[in-house]
Structure 1
Amino acid sequence: MGVASKVLLILVTILLPPVGVYIVAGCGADLLINICLTLLGYIPGHIHAFYLEYVYYERKESARQGRFTATRAPGVYSERVQSGGNGYGTVVQPVN
């Protein structure tokens, strides 16, 4: 994702935290947790959403640099976020 995409994601997350979580983590436990936190109060939903986005982009950058993070981030249930989006999808990568 480019800088413009990241800025757009941040703006969407500021307005509606569950939508930002859905974009990064998809539909799953993290989205349900964020919806509940947003209903309990607007600020907890933001904290959770920005935490997920931070973990996602941190893991994505680590993978790009060739570093692998073996430990799981606490409070993150989405494999897509845990892996930084690597290995996500159904397309098999060619073997060289």
Structure 2
Amino acid sequence: MAITTVVLNILLPPLAVFLKHGLSGTFLISLILTAIGWLPGVIHAFIVND
């Protein structure tokens, strides 16, 4: 995993997921989880961008 991906996973989880998977269901899940709370969004981003 590149350092830029790690930084984006932490700062802007939906953007990191979007850059890897595009506009898909995974991106929407990331948006919802980040809206609920920052930490669930970060965890999801790290799992999806593995």
User: Does TM, scored on the shorter chain, surpass 0.5?
Assistant: yes
Equivalent position of 1:38 in the other structure: 34
CA deviation vs aligned residue, 1:45-90 (integer Å, no higher than 9, x gap): 0111000011xxxxxxxxxxxxxxxxxxxxxxxxxxxxxxxxxxxx
Inter-partner Cα distance in structure 1 for 2:48 and 2:5: 12
Letter aligned with residue 16 of structure 1:
L
Please tell me the root mean square deviation across aligned C-alpha atoms, in Å.
1.1
Query: Is structure 2 residue 43 aligned with structure 1 residue 47?
Result: yes
Question: What is the percent sequence identity of the aligned residues?
Answer: 36
The offset of 1:24, in angstroms, is 1.0
Runs of 4+ in 1 over 4 A off after TM superposition: none
The offset of 1:17, in angstroms, is 0.3
The structure carrying a bigger helix percent of its residues is 2
Equivalent position of 2:14 in the other structure: 18
The offset of 1:13, in angstroms, is 1.5
- Which runs of 5 or more structure 2 residues have no equivalent in the other structure? none
TM-score, normalised on structure 2? 0.91
Query: Who wins on radius of gyration, i.e. which is larger?
Result: 1
